[in-house]
Structure 1
Amino acid sequence: MTPGLRVLLVEDDTELRQTLRDVLTVEGYVVATAASLADALAQIGQALPQQPFDLVLLDLGLPDGDGADVLHRVRRQVSWPVIVISARQDDGQKITLLDAGADDYLVKPFSAGELLARMRVALRHRGRSVTAAQTHWRRDGIEVDLQRRGVLRDGQPLHLTPKEYALLALLVRSAGQVLTHRQLLSQVWGAEHVHDTHYLRLYMAQLRAKLETDPADPQLLLTETGVGYRLAEGQ
C-alpha cells in the first residue's frame, strides 16, 4: 500500500480504539485518535492547513455529542473520505448520513478485513491507489509476522528494539520496493528527522547484524546507493 496515509480514528471505546489503531498501524497507516467530539474537531482544525487526513473513521456515540457533527464539519471544508463505524443499525440514519456525505457505513461488530477493504475502496474513489499491505515475510531462515509482532530466525524469537522493529516493519510492508531515505526517516523518526541519514545507517547496520548471514555482504536488506533501501522479496 501507499506508506504513510493518515487516518483520524474517532472512537470513544478505549479497547476498540486501541485494537483498531493496532490493526491500521500494521497496515502502514499513520493513525491519530480522538475519543470525543471536541478532540476530533480540534484535530481536524489543526490538520487542515498543513497535514490533512487521508481518511476519517467515525463513531457516532461520543460522550460530548454526536459524531455526525464531525461529518458535517469535514464535508463543509474538505473532501476526505469518511467511513461511519457505529452500533446503530437504523436504516433511516444510515441513509441520512450517506446522503450527508459519508462514504460508507459499517455496523459493529465488523471484521478487520472488511474495514480495511472498505477503506481501500473509499480511498480509490478519491484517486488513491491502495493495495493490502504485506504483513508476513519469510526468506533465508528469517520470518516476520507483523500481525503477531513476531520476528524469528531459524525458528527462534529474535529481539529487536522498537525502532529496529518499526524500520523492518516498514520495509516488510513494501518488500521488493525501494523506500527512499526520506520516506524511511519520516515514517520511523518523524518529519523533523528527514535529513538525519546517519540514523538510518546506524539502525540498518544493527538490523543486518541480527538478520543477515554475513552483514558485510547483505542479501536481505539491500542498499540502493544514493536513494534508500529495499528488502528483498520473500520466498
Structure 2
Amino acid sequence: MSLASTSSAATAQDEAYRAILQDIRSARYQPGDRLIPEKIARELAMSRMPVREAFQRLANEGLVLIRPNRGCVVSGLTIAEIYELFEIRSVLEGLAVRLAMPRFDGAALAELDDHVVRMHRAGAAGGADWLSKHQEFHAYICGLSGRPKLIAQIAALHIAVEPYMRVWLHHVAHPAQATERQDEVVEAIKTGDAEHAEAVMRDHILRTAPRLAAFLRSRNQAAGVPSGLPASTHI
C-alpha cells in the first residue's frame, strides 16, 4: 500500500470514528443499540473497512462491545458503574486542578471567567448547549495541568457519562443553577491554595453522582427495569 493510500485509509477511519462517537455522545445511538457497519458506511459514503476499524477503536475506549454473532453494540452503564466513574473523575480532576494551579495567572483566570460566562449564557438560553460549555470549562482547567495522559483519561470519563447527563439535563436538572456550582470551583482556584482547589473540585464532581443516579433509578422504575440492568436500558 502506498503512503497516500495509507493516509487516505487513516483519514476515513478518523472520520468514521468521530461521526460514530458524536452519535453515541448525543444519544442517537443508545446503550444496547447494535451498530450496523453497512448502514453507517452508506451514511458516511465510505467502505465498511474504516467503519469496522473505528468500531475497534471505540471498543478499546470502552464505548462499544464487539461480540461474536452480535456484532458491535453500544456499551451501557449500571448505576453502580456511573458512581464509580464519578469517583474516578473526582480524583483525577482534583489532581489536574492541583497540577494546574501554578499556571493560573491573570490571563488564565480571565479565560476561566469567560468559560463561566458562556455557561451562564447557555443556561439562560434553555440549556441545550450548556453541557458542551460545561465540558469546555473542565477541559480548560485540566488542560493547564500539562499532563496529556491524565487529560485523555478525564476526557474519556466525560464521554462515557455524557449520554446520561444529556437526558438528565433535558428532563430534570437546571443548567442555570448548575453553573453556580462551577463558580465555587473558580473561587477556590482564585484563592491560590492548591489543596483547597483540589478538595473543592473533588466535592463538586461527587455531588453530581447521587442526583444523576436518583433520576436514572426513577426512570428505570417507571419503565419496570430491574436494578441490576444498565441504567441506560430505557434512557
TM class by shorter chain equals under 0.3
Q: Which has the higher contact order (CA 8 A, sep 6+)?
A: 2
TM-score (norm 2): 0.25
Structure ranking higher in strand proportion? 1
Structure ranking higher in helix proportion? 2
TM-score (norm 1): 0.25
